[in-house]
Structure 1
Amino acid sequence: MPDYLFPPAEIPTLEIAGDSRRIPVGRIFCVGRNYAAHAAEMGSDVSREAPWFFTKSHSAISTGGEAAYPPGTSDWQHEVELVAVIGKPLWNAKASDVADAICGWAVGLDMTRRDLQAAAKAARLPWDVAKDVEGSAVIGTVTASDSWPGPGQQSITLHVNDTERQSGTLDQMVWSVPEVLEHLSALYHLVPGDIVMTGTPAGVGPVYPGDLLRASVDGLTPLSHLIGPPAP
């Protein structure tokens, strides 16, 4: 065993429905502008040239429950997403060959410091401080891929308290999940435990301490997430 200067960070894990085992999380990849209506509400266009991606780190993972309102922002916003969990290595894969590499699916939230993102966009700077934030990758219980048919016309919704904020269907994605994985696997050697957050429908907006977010995708375990007070 190595003699560490300090203990290594604990690897975050995800719960699997009906299974006592857990999934260790590798990297977190997020697809940008994958629903045309959301791209439009953010003042952007979409194209079919290629999807584009950003990443989050381990410290962003939250598995629901409660997470503190983050520092440095007054505009913390929700984005409900379908999450694909990689279960087999993928490298330079074709869209037609990726289905068996997905070991499970979950409901997720890509939380964003929108004011910092807007400032970064205006200055043509990276989005890291807006997207890669503690508690910003909220992932629910994973449903094994053999228990869910994969994305099609299922609805994806988000309620904040008792108000519906986001609603769409998974077939509204600009890039299907197999297409996303084809492009992503041309850029990275994907390995088991990597997760892909596949984009959000229109209706994103701010949340505040005390708000309860309820996210769902037809056929998957719903996700509840409470916005806690700012950390002291």
Structure 2
Amino acid sequence: MLDVSGLVAEYGPVRALDDVDVEVAEGSITAVLGVNGAGKTTLLRAISGLLPPKAGTVRLAGRDVTRRAPEDLVRLGMAHVPEGRGVIVELTVEENLRLGGLWRKDKGWLRTGLSRMYELFPPLAQRRSRRAETLSGGERQMLAIARALMSRPELLLLDEPSLGLAPRTAAQIVATLRTLRAETGLTLLLVEQNAGTALSVADRAVVLNLGRKVADDDAASLAADDRVRRAYLEM
């Protein structure tokens, strides 16, 4: 589904990604791990078009999408939920969700999609007419994910979905990710500070350190690798 090769990204004179390769199999959950400053968020930004890479290629389902605009990538089947629960707080829950599906031509999906999002995230159904500013942190994160899903992506990029959430809420979101993958075959690239949580849900994991890839293996093997856990994952 996703093939990233030789990716280089910079913020001014700072090289945040240095020759990074990542492959994400269709229908899989791949975790991107590492301590703060490792380059995890930069990787998602470079893939989704928010930060044009200096070098390297990004291929989505075999198509070269390097440096394509974010809105083009949404139309091609990629959605990105950045860190920070970015929803439009002046709009209601349902208005935010409708905005996520606005560009789709199959208008029948809008009604079906809304129903599906409310099934996946019951707290949103109870608050559909409330402005997003009234939601808790966990509910805003649910809304951010649900709004991205309204575009019916084939690949979903998630940046720190459990950051700052109560353990119970974080567990609910992780369970929902499992459900989505099992029921729809959705492919996920997941950045998560909590390595234990990420490895418990992922099929494969990539570890970054100072912008370089230092490990790439199936999740179970990385979870059992004491050297990687101590050196790069703070586990």
Q: TM-score, normalised by structure 1?
A: 0.25
Q: Which one has the bigger strand percentage?
A: 1
Q: TM-score, normalised by structure 2?
A: 0.25
